[in-house]
Amino acid sequence: MKKIFEYKHYFYLLLALIGGGYTYYFMWQGVIESNGNFDVVDFVQSTWINNFYAKSLTLDFWTGAIAGTFFILVEGMRLGMKRIWMYLLLTVGIAFAFGFPLFLFMRELHIRNNKSMI
């Protein structure tokens, strides 16, 4: 069983690819549906006012995203990782579902490469 956890960084990479790919795919579907226009106000409102289920998921996402962003900053600095800002930009620019798992993937590689330091 311990051998399985040895490759967890690939699981994080897979999540990053799925999260980024699907998020971008559905965002572009919305742009196509609205005749090539991305309406930021419509996008934000659709997550808050459609129904209580949407509000629940939105609040869940934002709570996790804030905690994950804080984790990226604190853990990245604690481990002395370089270019922490890049993961924050990817999180905002593409998706939290892309930036956070990518950070976890790179964190695992950093820990593997610096085992003697930790």
* Radius of gyration, CA atoms only, the chain: 17
Q: Which segment, 4-8, 40-44, 50-54, is predicted with the most confidence on average? A: 4-8
pLDDT of residue 1: 60
Q: What is the pLDDT of residues 48-72, one digit of tens each?
A: 666 777 778 788 888 999 999 999 9
pLDDT of residue 80: 94
pLDDT of residue 76: 96
